[in-house]
């Protein structure tokens, strides 16, 4: 069972409202039946919905006695639409075959459909944000989308860059993954009208959680955990993306073995991938990734510690535990 299921159950009504908002926005009668058919395909396999969950949980953590208002639901749906749009475009760029256990959108309908659909999702998200009616939130969303796009572009431009350092890679992750996590947590906190530094603390929480999430994904991709990833395993290797396990591995190998590893990566040698995986599993790489996972886990827990004790603040900590545990099974 998905370990997040009990957490989703706590917010069942709020998450149902987010899904209803997504269906209402994407399946509106203003769009043609053909467009609604494409949108229905996207909605059929919803993914983790982790970002809207984070928005709702952050709001409740800082306003535990208040029902979640419609503005929070609309913000959560808008952030999820941005995430979905980024995945649609990522899959085109990566020539991915599957997403969420079904053919990627461009595989089903063609690239000429997938690209404008991604743009449409961004525009629908903007429309929802105008209904939230909070200028600071709109400004922060704009900043996050800019970071997301620049992070994705940086990652593509640095494919096959075997000199990529750990700090450089983590900066890419901070932009391409953490930006939406930070936005989700900060947005929920801000709409709770929290005073003082708590919204900023939730921003830092989301930043650390995004890094935690992506570092565990890097390990899962190399270990071939297709089910946990909800996409094809070894996809990063096939694309020539240099992820954290490979960066740590290249730093630890002898000159001869490093040259062999680079040849395998340059030629996308799937047989050689077995050798790389063996090197990773029998070296310090897993331990170094584990140290980073524990660092970001502890950072998440530290920055939310000032939140007054309540059941929803505890749920934020439970989310951290679930994400961290994915990468600490090796």
19-56 pLDDT tens trace: 999 999 999 999 999 999 999 999 998 888 999 999 99
pTM: 0.93
127-174 pLDDT tens trace = 999 999 889 999 999 999 999 999 999 999 998 899 999 999 999 999
Under the banding of pLDDT at 50, 70 and 90, the label for residue 194 is confident
More confident residue, 305 or 133: 305
CA angle 274, 168, 53 (to 5 degrees): 85
pLDDT surpassing 70 at residue 226: no
The topology (CATH level 3) of 5-327 is: Farnesyl Diphosphate Synthase (1.10.600)
Percent of the chain with pLDDT over 70: 95
Residue 102 bridge partners (DSSP): 99
Confidence of residue 228 (pLDDT cuts 50, 70, 90): very low
The structural domains of the chain, with segments of one domain joined by +, span 5-327
Summarize pLDDT for 241-276 with one digit per residue, the tens: 889 999 999 999 999 999 999 999 988 888 888 898
Mean pLDDT of the chain: 91
């Amino acid at each position: 069972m998905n370990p997040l299921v009990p957490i989703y159950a706590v917010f069942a009504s709020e998450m149902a409202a987010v899904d209803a908002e997504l269906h209402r926005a994407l399946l509106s009668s203003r769009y043609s039946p053909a467009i609604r058919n494409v949108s229905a395909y996207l909605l059929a396999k919803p993914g983790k919905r982790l970002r809207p969950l984070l928005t709702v949980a952050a709001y409740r953590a800082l306003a535990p006695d208040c029902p979640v208002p419609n503005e929070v639901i609309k913000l959560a749906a808008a952030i999820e639409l941005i995430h979905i749009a980024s995945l649609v475009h990522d899959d085109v760029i990566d020539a991915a075959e599957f997403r969420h256990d079904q053919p990627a959108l461009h595989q089903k309908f063609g690239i000429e459909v997938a690209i404008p659909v991604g743009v449409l999702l961004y525009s629908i998200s903007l429309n929802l944000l105008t209904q939230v009616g909070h200028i600071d939130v709109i400004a922060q969303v704009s900043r996050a989308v800019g970071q997301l796009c620049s992070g994705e572009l940086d990652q593509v431009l640095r494919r096959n860059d075997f000199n990529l350092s750990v700090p450089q890679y983590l900066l890419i992750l901070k932009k391409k993954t953490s930006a939406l996590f930070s936005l989700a947590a900060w947005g929920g906190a801000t709409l709770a009208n929290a005073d003082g530094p708590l919204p900023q603390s939730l921003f830092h929480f989301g930043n650390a959680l995004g890094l935690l999430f992506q570092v565990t994904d890097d390990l899962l991709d190399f270990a071939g955990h297709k089910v946990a990833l909800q996409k094809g395993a070894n996809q990063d290797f096939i694309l020539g993306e240099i992820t954290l396990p490979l960066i740590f591995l290249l730093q630890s190998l002898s000159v001869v073995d490093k040259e062999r590893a680079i040849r395998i990566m340059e030629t996308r040698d799937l047989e050689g991938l077995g050798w790389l995986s063996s090197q990773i599993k029998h070296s310090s790489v897993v331990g170094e990734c584990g140290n980073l996972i524990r660092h970001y886990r502890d950072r998440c827990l530290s920055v939310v510690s000032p939140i007054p004790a309540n059941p929803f603040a505890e749920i934020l900590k439970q989310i951290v535990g679930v994400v961290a545990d994915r990468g600490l099974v090796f």
